[in-house]
Structure 1
Amino acid sequence: MTTARLPLFPLNSVLFPGLVLPLNIFEERYRAMMRDLSKGADSGDSAPPADPSAASSDEDEPRRFVVVAIRDGREVAPTAPGMPDSTTLTERGPAAGFGPDPVQAFHRVGCVADAATIREREDGGFEVLATGTTRVRILSVDASGPYLTAEVEELPEEPGDDAGALAEGVLRAFRSYQKRLAGARERSLTTGAELPDEPSVVSYLVAAATVLDIPAKQRLLQAPDTATRLREELKLLRSETAVIRHLPSLPAVELTRAPTSPN
């Protein structure tokens, strides 16, 4: 299986294929990453060039980086979601906050993100809007440049057995969950839009939209196939809906908001 080396963006959250990720970039190592990406430095099969001026300026090229979730307990600073606050770190450099062996601080399965827009602010930070594309397994992490890069291999999405029937069941359970979460007011995260019917798309949408902790979302991301993910989601949705049924005062509006991830 072929591999690629891409910039690595660790977060206290899980990105799924097809989902949109807004980012507010203010830390220098990630500013450097976005400067390179905005200049077309991502070739897709090698690390960004040392000389950014040598990079292509073709804005139609994919501007790819890998989003990976930080393992529980490995974040140095209390900020969440996002990166450790660099002002609290005693060390400096691309691996600051992640220990002497950064790969151990991250989950091994992440998601490639394609930055559709990269806007630089007057203060030097960036506002980025990216979309998850494909799952990847992280093979190694390199901290020799201005920011972390990772060697990754793509994880194919296999359908598994009975994915279509499972997707229908998950959608029914998801609608029930949404209705309970919104206080039975017919309000949902997908109000005004048709839910998809393609099993893998259903599995990723539900994984992203359900209120779960990072380990649970990570397990869904790295499920071996779509059917396995859907089966796990069906159990989770039924369990979560039962819990919500006994918590009528749950602040559903707050839980269903999707804030910009700072870094």
Structure 2
Amino acid sequence: MTTELPLFPLGSVLFPGVVLPLHIFEHRYRQLVRDLSALPEGAPRRFGVLAIKDGHEVGRGNVMALYDVGCTAEIDSIVEYEDGRFDITTTGVHRFRLEAFDDEGPYARGEVELLDEVAGPEADVLAPGLTALFRKYQAALSELRGVQVGSIPELPEDPTVLSYLIGAATVLDTYEKQRLLTTESTVERLRAEAKILRRETGILKNLPSLPAVDLLRRRSR
């Protein structure tokens, strides 16, 4: 079963549960915000965020290709300025797959299928290990940046929520984050993230002593 959503192409990947602030200045997206604001009270003010595969965010016609799996974003707050711009705060809600794309109106719309998340029987077993790996990654990243690691907030115990948060918080390119978002089950995502965190932590710890060629070789594995 599909549903229609306004679409917002973005140069980054949004995960469910992650807060996304946006500054709205293009006229087509001002109209999108106005249309969602005009919905009856209590109606969800949601649009679909899709990462850009080829092209640029700003300017109509500059997006050449989009990834086909994205995340719905629900507007939590809106600040409107006198010149018509908006600052909005949104939160990722649900993964979806784009089935049809329409760019004929004032802003793009799409027919999307909301995707179920299958946790998998091993998710609860894998989650604590991933939390430990992420702590090591955070420590290595902080040390490289010369920032002292202070009190780190508690990570969620729910394996699915944890997998989304780590996917969003790890410093990766759009392609790799998109692969994590597209992963069909929590177990698969947790396993993929464990490999990524081991790789990235190793790179961070050895970064000052690695020649550029060796660094590229390690990242390509």
User: How many angstroms does 1:123 deviate by?
Assistant: 1.5
C-alpha separation between the residues in 2 aligned to 1:66 and 1:109?
10
Corresponding residue for residue 111 of structure 2: 151
Q: Deviations over 1:167-204 (max 9, x none)?
A: 1111000000001111186626xx45221111001100
Amino acid at match of 1:16: F
- In structure 1, C-alpha distance between the alignment counterparts of 2:102 and 2:44, rounded to whole Å: 21
Q: Which has the higher helix share?
A: 2
Q: Which residue of 1 aligns with 2:49?
A: 67
Question: What is the TM-score normalised by the length of structure 1?
Answer: 0.75
Per the alignment, residue 61 of structure 2 pairs with 96
Aligned length: 207
Deviation by residue 1:69-109 (Cα, 9 ceiling, x = unmatched): 000xx214xxxxxx12x3xxxxxxxx52235xxxxx10000
Given residue 13 of structure 1, which amino acid in structure 2 is its aligned partner? S
TM-score, normalized by length of structure 2? 0.89
Partner Cα distance (2:137, 2:111) in 1 = 38
Q: Does 1:194 align with 2:159?
A: no
How many Å separate the matches in 2 of 1:118 and 1:61? 15
1:177 maps to 137
**How much does 1:217 deviate?**
0.2
Percent of aligned positions with the same letter in both sequences? 48
Moved over 4 A (4+): none
Question: Contact (CA 8 Å) 1:4, 1:153: kept in 2 or not?
Answer: yes
Higher strand share: 2
**Unmatched tracts of structure 1, length 5 or more:** 41-55, 77-82, 87-94, 100-104, 250-263
Equivalent residue for 1:208, pick from 165, 168, 177: 168
- The structure whose RCO (Cα within 8 Å, separation 6+) is larger is 1
Q: Secondary structure at the match of 1:70?
A: strand
> Any unmatched runs of 5+ in structure 2?
210-221
Using the TM superposition, give the Cα deviation of residue 248 of structure 1 relative to its aligned residue in structure 2, in angstroms. 5.0
Contact 1:179 1:187 (C-alpha < 8 Å) held by counterparts = yes
CA distance in 2, matches of 1:125, 1:240: 39
